[in-house]
Amino acid sequence: MEKQHKVSIWYVVMGVWVVLLLQQYIASMFAVEVIPYSRFLELIHENKVSEVAVSVNQIQGKLKTDNGGKEKKFRTIRVDADMSQLLKSSDAVFKGEIQSNFMATVMSWIVPTALFFGVWFYLMRYMGKQQAGFMRLGGNKAKIYVQDELNISFNDVAGVDEARQELVEVVDFLKSPGKFSELGGKLPKGVMLVGPPGTGKTLLAKAVAGESGVPFFFISGAEFVEMFVGLGAARVRELFDQAKLKAPCIIFIDELDALGKARGAGFVGGNDEREQTLNQLLVEMDGFDSTLGVILLAATNRPEILDPALLRPGRFDRQILVDRPDKKGREDILNVHLKKIKVEEPLDVAAIAAMTPGMVGADLANLVNEATLLAVRKSKNAVGLPEFQEAVERVIAGLEKKNRLINPKERRIVAFHELGHALVAMNVPGADPVQKISIIPRGIGALGYTLQVPTEDRFLMSRSELLAKIVTLLGGRAAEQIIFNEVSTGAMNDLARATDIAQSMVKEYGMGETLGNVYYARKRKAQFLDIMPDGAAEYSEQTAQKIDEEVKKIISQQYDRALDILSKQHKTLEQAAEILLKNEKMDAAQIEELMKTAS
C-alpha cells in the first residue's frame, strides 16, 4: 500500500523563505544607489559622472570608478534650478522627493493580492463543485415540497370523485396510522394512478400531500436513468433513504413508464442501466416498512408496457383509474376554473359541459383561458356563453383564418362539402346532432368544418351508430359528386377516418358479415394513447383478403347511402349552399327550416 504524506505548514514557510532570499539576491544584482540632489551637483563639479539620463522628475546615470572598475549606477530626484542655486549657497544637503500616499501604496499591493487570491479561491471552489457533481451524478434529484408550498387540497380537484375517494384512505393513514395498526391492517405500499394525459393524476397526488400535511417528494421517471451505469440505482437508494428520514411522507414518481418498462423488451442483454434502476426500485419497495408512513405514488398513461413485477401485491398493489370526466365531472371542473375569472350571470355551465365531450381537465382549463382571452379581445367586462362557444370551436377546429384567400370555385366546393356532412347527419338515425356549419378556414389545413355535439356521453356504440358515423363522413364527397359530377382532395381526412372505423368494425368488434365473431387485431393499441400497434397481425393472406373485401363493402354501401340521402335533399342542398356562401356560417335550425319548406 502506498504511503500517504501529509502536507505540513513548515513546507510553506520554507518555500516563502527561499523565495525571499532569491528576491534579495536578484535585487542586489540590479541595485541602483539613490543619492541626494546636492550630492549629484557635487559629483558633477568633481567630474565623477560618466553618463546621465534626464527625465521630467528624476535623473539616472553612472559614476566613474578608479582603476577601470565597474561603473556604479545612481538615481536622484530633480530639484528646481533656482531652488538648487539658493540652497547650494547655504552648503545645505538637499534632495528631491515625490510625495507618496502610504495608504495608496499599501492598497496597490493589497488589492491585487486579494483579487488574485479571490479569483483563485473561486476557481478552486467551482472546480471542486464540478468534480463533486460529476462524482455524485447518482444523487437524488427529487423536489421536496411542504404543505405551505403545495397549497393544494381535494377542493381543487374535480371530476374524479371515485379516484379521490380511493385516496382519502391514504390521507387517513398518514394522519392517524394508529387507527390501521390497531387492527393489524397495512396500507398498500404503492398506489398507481392510471389514466389518459391531462386527467389530473399529478394534481391528485399533490392534493394527497396537501391534505395530509406531509413532505412531498416529486420526481420524474426519466430523471432516474443516466448515461453512467449504476447511477440510476444509486439515485433510487438515496431517494428512499431521504424519505425514511422525513417519514411520514409521500414519494411521487411521475411518468413511471419511463423507468418501469418491461425488462427485456427491445434490449439485447440484461445488463442495461434502465433495468438495473428498475431492479433497485423493486428491491427498495420490498425492503421498506409500510408502517413507517412512506407512501409511494406513481402515475402513468401506459400501464400496458409496465413490468409485471411492479404490479404484483406488495408493490404497486393498488391501481386507481383517473378516467376522462363525464358531463357532471366536466361541470365540476369548469366550476373550479370559473372561480378564477369574471363571468356573466347567469352562465349555463351545463351547456358548456355538453359541448365538450371527451375533454379532460387540462383541456377544460385551456378552454376557460381561451374564452377569457376572447372576452379581453372584445373589450368585455366578463366572459359569457358566446365566448365559450367560440373557444370550443377554436380548440376543436383551430384558429379562424379569415384572411386566407380562396377562389370562388374552391369556396363553392367547400360549402357543398360541409353541407353534405350536415344533411346526411340530420337524416341518419344515431348520428350526432349538428350544431354549426362554417366555411371559414381554420387550423392548418381545414377549409371548413361541421360541428357535431353528442347529446350525452357514450361508452358503447352499436353497429348502426358506427355506420352512421361512416355515412356522415362520406356525405361531403357524395355532395361533391352530385353537384359537380367529380370529387376533390378535400375528403382525404374523411376517408381515412371512415376507413379506420370500418377496419375496427371488422377486425376488432366482430361486425363483419362473413368473418364472424373473431378478433383479428392481435397487436392492441395503447390503452390511453392514440398510438398504432407495431408489427403485423397474425392471420393468413386469405383472411387479410376477406378483411379488405369487408372493409371495402362497408365503405361502398355507406357511400351509396349518402348519395341516396343527398339526392332526395338536392333542393335543400342548393338553397343552403347559397345562404352559407353569403353568410359563411349556418346553424342546424336554419337547415331544418329549409328542409321543411323543401318538403
Residue range 9-88 in CATH 3.30.720: yes
Name every residue whose Cβ is closer than 8 Å to that of residue 528 and which is 6 or more positions away in sequence: 194, 195, 196, 197, 301, 302
Do 340-397 and 408-598 have matching folds?
no
Q: Which amino acid is at 187?
A: L
510-547 pLDDT, tens digit per residue, is 998 888 888 888 666 666 666 655 555 678 889 989 99
Confidence category of residue 134, pLDDT binned at 50, 70, 90? very low
Class of residue 385 by CB neighbours under 10 A (exposed 0-12, middle 13-18, buried 19+): middle
Separation of alpha carbons 65 and 261, rounded Å: 94
272-283 pLDDT, tens digit per residue, is 677 888 888 888
Confidence category of residue 471, pLDDT binned at 50, 70, 90? very high
Q: For the domain bounded by 408-598, which CATH number is listed?
A: 1.20.58.760
Confidence category of residue 463, pLDDT binned at 50, 70, 90? very high
Name 59's bridge partners.
54, 76
Are 450 and 497 spatial neighbours (Cβ–Cβ below 8 Å)? Answer: no
| Span between the terminal Cα atoms of the chain, in Å | 105
The CATH T-level fold of domain 340-397 is Helicase, Ruva Protein; domain 3 (1.10.8)
> DSSP for 224-259?
G--SSTTHHHHHHHHHHHHHHHT-SEEEEEESGGGT
Are 438 and 418 spatial neighbours (Cβ–Cβ below 8 Å)? Answer: yes
- Over range 231-239, report the average pLDDT: 80
Among 47-61, 208-222, 425-439, where is mean pLDDT lowest?
47-61
Residue spans per domain, the chain: 9-88, 143-321, 340-397, 408-598
pLDDT of the residue at 303:
86
CATH of 143-321, one of 2.130.10.30, 1.10.357.10, 3.40.50.300, 2.60.40.3710: 3.40.50.300
Active site residue 574: no
Torsion over CA: 282, 287, 289, 292 (sign)? negative
pLDDT of the residue at 53:
76
Q: What is the 3-state secondary structure (H, E, C) of 389-443?
A: HHHHHHHHHCCECCCCCCCHHHHHHHHHHHHHHHHHHHCCCCCCCEEEEECCCEC
Q: What is the 3-state secondary structure (H, E, C) of 434-468?
A: EEEEECCCECCCECCEEEECCCCCCCCCCHHHHHH
65-115 pLDDT, tens digit per residue, is 766 666 777 777 776 665 566 555 555 565 555 555 555 555 556 666 776
- Higher pLDDT pick, 502 / 399: 502
One of 223, 226, 370, 418 is an active-site residue; which one? 418
Angular region, 197: left φ>0, alpha ψ -120 to 50, beta rest = beta
Q: Which amino acid is at 173?
A: F
User: Nearest to residue 216, comparing CAs of 241, 249, 173, 170?
Assistant: 249
The percent of residues above 90 in pLDDT, for the chain, comes to 22
Q: Is the overall model pTM greater than 0.75, yes or no? A: no
